[in-house]
Amino acid sequence: MSKTRPADYPRAAAATLRDTPEVRDAVTAATRTFDTHRRESWAQIDADRWRDWCRDVKEHVLTHLDDFLEQAETSLVANGVTVHWAERAEDALGILEHIVDAGRVRRVVKAKSMLTEELGVNAFLEGRGVHVRETDLGEYIIQLLGEPPSHIVGPAIHRSVDDCRRLFHDHFGTPLDATPEALAATARQALREEFLAADMGISGCNFLVAETGTLALIENEGNIRLSTSAPRVHVAFVGIEKLLPGMADLSGFLQITARAATGQPIGNYVSLIRGPRGSAESDGPEEVHVVLVDNGRTTLLADDVAREALRCVRCGACLNICPVYRQTGGHPYGFTYSGPIGAILAPALLGLEEAMPLPFASSLCGACADVCPVRIPIPDILLHWRERAVEAGLTPFVERMGVRAFGAAAGRPSTFSLAGGLLRYVPWALGGRALPVLGGWSAERTPPELSREPFHKHWKEGIE
Amino acid sequence: MRVALFATCLGDRLFADACADAVRLLRKLGCEVDFPEGQTCCGQPAFNAGYVEEARRMARHTMEVFAGAEHVVLPSGSCAGMLRRYYPELFQGAARARAEDLAERTWELSQFIVRVLGVRELGAGLRGRHIAYHHGCHALRELGVRDEPVGLLRSAGADVVPWDADEECCGFGGLFSVKFPPVSTGMADRKLDSLPGVDVVTSADGGCLMQMSGRARRRGMTTPFRHLASVLLEATA
């Protein structure tokens, strides 16, 4: 199966809806549940003030990002952590390869991390003969299926319990009517062996506190804690936008992130990692490496409009409420981050041309901006990328000519009226066959009927 | 009070009756209605598709056409949102001041009736009617119009029936529905699948009505879809 790219979105989305309609049902049900929990959870706090505060803290960090990064590095080094800087994905992978080789690492357990998906860590390690095991239950399921995550928080939400029953039946011989609890217990058993045998644990990071050099990781299953404490080496990949100034800031962000993502007041497990095992400590890794990754983030930082996307805490709230995302889940987007946040990150992280047409894959309904815990103005950033795409000549030729002609006509009322009058002769009744661009539209909808006469004529005759 | 009606593209060609009903309604409420000649398109389709230069040209033209109007009223939350929320962002200096001035005088129909005219009850013409109200995204999120249309319908005796997806996007989105038809159709289906049994579905936006009714007809549904202006005129009876 060739990898889906953003350019495939129109075809891939159509294929998903046509060939696997159950994906739409599963994604819609799961995201509506997430969103309901988010709404209930926000009703318990003064959410609007929390969101203002979180936005302001993140803005402060981004405005002084260079200072905070240096402070974080100093704190981490003081804690005994080895700090690495990676400008691009290949740099990050090169650093990882070096750590793997130096530590003679053969087996890796992974905590759920979107950044490692973005960097392509699993394929890279497997290509070098290293055994890699995802340990988040959802990630484990999609790893067994050979699929990428379809949601930032719930990587397997496009799959039903029945899909998992069949998968586990094939892999472990569990009964086809096994309960979800029995399936989870089977996975836990298999994963315990992986934790104990692993040489290295790889994680992402929700927040990095600059003042103390603390890595904060939020989860519900305990697998992140095991991945980061059982193996002798821990490598954390951290996007450079993940910084927070101090521990007091962290307490607020731990809560708003969990509430936005799943409606929980806080994650079941929050791991605060300061560094490797101390001399008086009985467990923990011998080595901790932090890889600070740019990979396009400074492109965002340099963009006056799109930079606000760097406030993102990866809660997935915008995916959960997005009516476009709900139709297909994340796979057709062809990018690690799907839905509204993916559509505004892609042009910076992939380049605008490669990201097309994702900034256009939105009806601009604005629901995402209503729920973002750090108030990213997603629709405005979508419009910004669309404007850049037009400037760069990346929109279809026919569309470009059409809009220009329409715009010119709209500046001259007589021409505009004439153009509108011609609409009367466009044979909508032919199912839009005369207008190829409308073919798809009218294939699934009955075209509207034109009014008997345009309103401006009616007005001239007088309105009773 | 003197108001200028901005019929909008879809209003002029596809919802001409609703525009006439808006005129009748405003007159009933004591307004003198003008229809400035030379009005064309607000520029939203171009703006939303990234063609900012073309949108600016249309905005400039619209600002000239409505320069003298005391209030501009549109039978569309979406186009009203374009004027109120985005026109000022398209300009700088003196033009921006003119755009801001126009934005402050621009209203979606039900918003104008409640917020400017201060009218909260229209009559009793909808007694016993079961109505589903679709909140168009831009009326709801750009203009903050939620209670105005629903309140006016209820005050006239309508039972505005709870609808699970009433604040979800119908999937029209202008060029969006042309670029990604199956996704757009899936969104319309979500609206229709959750639609309760009602006498009529109404909304302040012709684009949404065209999308939802077009899909409903194709699916063989017979529920009528009518523009809010026509339903509100009925409410005055």
Q: What is the pLDDT of residues A68-89, one digit of tens each?
A: 999 999 999 999 999 999 999 9
Q: Is B108 helix (H, G, I), strand (E, B) or coil?
A: strand
| Over residues B131-155, mean pLDDT | 98
Q: Taking the CA atoms of A41, A46, A52 and A56 in sequence, report the sign of the dihedral they define.
A: negative
Contacting residues of B for A363, CB less than 8 Å apart = 137, 169, 171-173, 176-177, 184, 187
Q: Does B176 touch chain A (CB under 8 A)?
A: yes
Under DSSP, is residue B79 helix (H, G, I), strand (E, B) or coil?
Answer: helix
- The residue extents of the domains of chain B are 2-116, 130-235
In angstroms, the separation between the Cα of residue B120 and the nearest Cα of chain A is 25
Window 92-151 of B: residues touching A by CB (8 A cutoff) are: 137-138, 141-142
The answer on A247 and A132 residing in a single domain is yes
Substitution target from B21, B37, B40 for chain A, most A beta carbons within 10 A: B40
Range of the domain at A218: 45-295
Question: Among candidates A331, A243, A430, A247, which has minimal Cα distance to A4?
Answer: A331
In a domain, A347, yes or no: no
In chain B, count H helices and then E strands.
14, 8
Give the three-state DSSP class for A418.
helix
* A132: phi then psi, degrees, rounded to nearest 5: -120, 130
pTM equals 0.96
Q: State yes or no: pLDDT of A364 exceeds 70.
A: yes
Q: Do A288 and A431 belong together in one domain? A: no
CA B152 to chain centre: 15
In a domain, A59, yes or no: yes
Q: Tell which of A295, A329, A345 closes a domain.
A: A295
Question: In terms of C-beta distances under 8 Å and separation of at least 24 residues, what long-range contacts does A275-282 make, across chains too?
Answer: A275/A76, A275/A79, A275/A80, A275/A81, A275/A213, A276/A80, A276/A81, A276/A234
Distance (Å, whole) CA A343 – CA A347: 7
Q: What is the DSSP letter of B6?
A: -
Considering CB atoms only, which of A365, A403, A463 is closest to B20?
A463
CB A151 within 8 A of CB A330: yes
DSSP letter, residue B130: E
Torsion, Cα of A181, A184, A185, A191 (10° steps): -170
pLDDT band (50, 70, 90) for residue A435: very low
Instruction: Tell me: pLDDT of B186 over 50.
Output: yes
Last residue of a domain, one of A246, A278, A295: A295
Q: DSSP letter at A278?
A: P
A 10 A CB-CB count for B68 gives 10
Residue of A11, A459, A460 to mutate when probing chain B, most B C-beta within 10 A: A459
Q: At what angle do helices A47-63 and A65-78 cross, to 10 degrees?
A: 90
pLDDT band at B66 (very low <50, low <70, confident <90, very high): very high
| Widest pairwise Cα distance in chain B | 53
- Residue A314 confidence (pLDDT): 98
Query: What is this model's ipTM?
Result: 0.97
Residues of A in contact with B77 (CB under 8 A): none
Structure token digits, residue A92: 């990050």
Chain B interface disruption, residue of A32, A33, A36, A365, most B CBs within 10 A: A365
Longest dimension (CA), chain A: 93
Using a CB-CB distance cutoff of 8 angstroms, which residues of chain A are in contact with residue B66? none
- The structural domain count of chain A equals 2
* Contact residues, chain A, for B32 at CB < 8 Å: none
| Residue B19: strand, helix, or coil | helix
CA distance A400 to A438: 16
**Could you give the 3-state DSSP secondary structure of residue A51?**
helix
Verify whether the Cβ–Cβ distance A366 to B142 is below 8 Å. Answer: yes
Residue A192's beta-bridge partner residues?
Answer: none
Q: Do the Cβ atoms of A363 and A323 come closer than 8 Å?
A: yes
Say if residue B149 is preceded by a cis peptide, omega within 30 of 0. no
* Confidence check: pLDDT of A1 > 50: no
Q: Are A197 and A56 in the same domain?
A: yes
Q: What is the pLDDT of residues A151-208, one digit of tens each?
A: 999 999 999 999 999 999 999 999 999 999 999 999 999 999 999 999 999 999 999 9
Is residue A109 assigned to a domain? yes
Q: In the structure, what pLDDT confidence band is assigned to residue A389 with cuts at 50, 70 and 90? A: very high
Q: What is the pLDDT of residues A285-298, one digit of tens each?
A: 999 999 999 999 99
User: Residue A457: pLDDT above 70?
Assistant: yes
From A254, A278, A295, give the residue that closes a domain.
Answer: A295
**CATH code matching the domain that covers B130-235, chosen among 1.10.3470, 3.40.1710, 3.40.50, 1.10.287:** 3.40.50
- Residues A250, A104, single domain; the answer is yes
A433–chain B nearest CA distance, Å = 14
- Work out the pLDDT band at A410, boundaries 50, 70, 90: confident
pLDDT, mean of residues A382-405: 93
Q: Among all residues of chain A, which has the CA nearest to that of B143?
A: A366
Cα distances (angstroms) measured from residue A240 to each of A84, A274, A297: 12, 18, 7
Give the residue from B5, B12, B23, B185 with the most A CB atoms within 10 Å of its CB, the best one to mutate: B12
Do A251 and A127 share a structural domain?
A: yes
Q: Work out the percent of chain B whose per-residue pLDDT is above 90.
A: 98
Q: Quick one: DSSP state of residue A76?
A: H
Rounded CA-CA distance A363/A327 in Å is 13
Please check whether residues A122 and A271 belong to one and the same domain.
Answer: yes
Give the closest-approach CA distance of B93 to chain A in angstroms.
20
- pLDDT at residue A360 greater than cutoff 80: yes
CATH number at residue A95: 3.40.50.10420
> How close does chain B come to A56, measured CA to CA in Å?
22
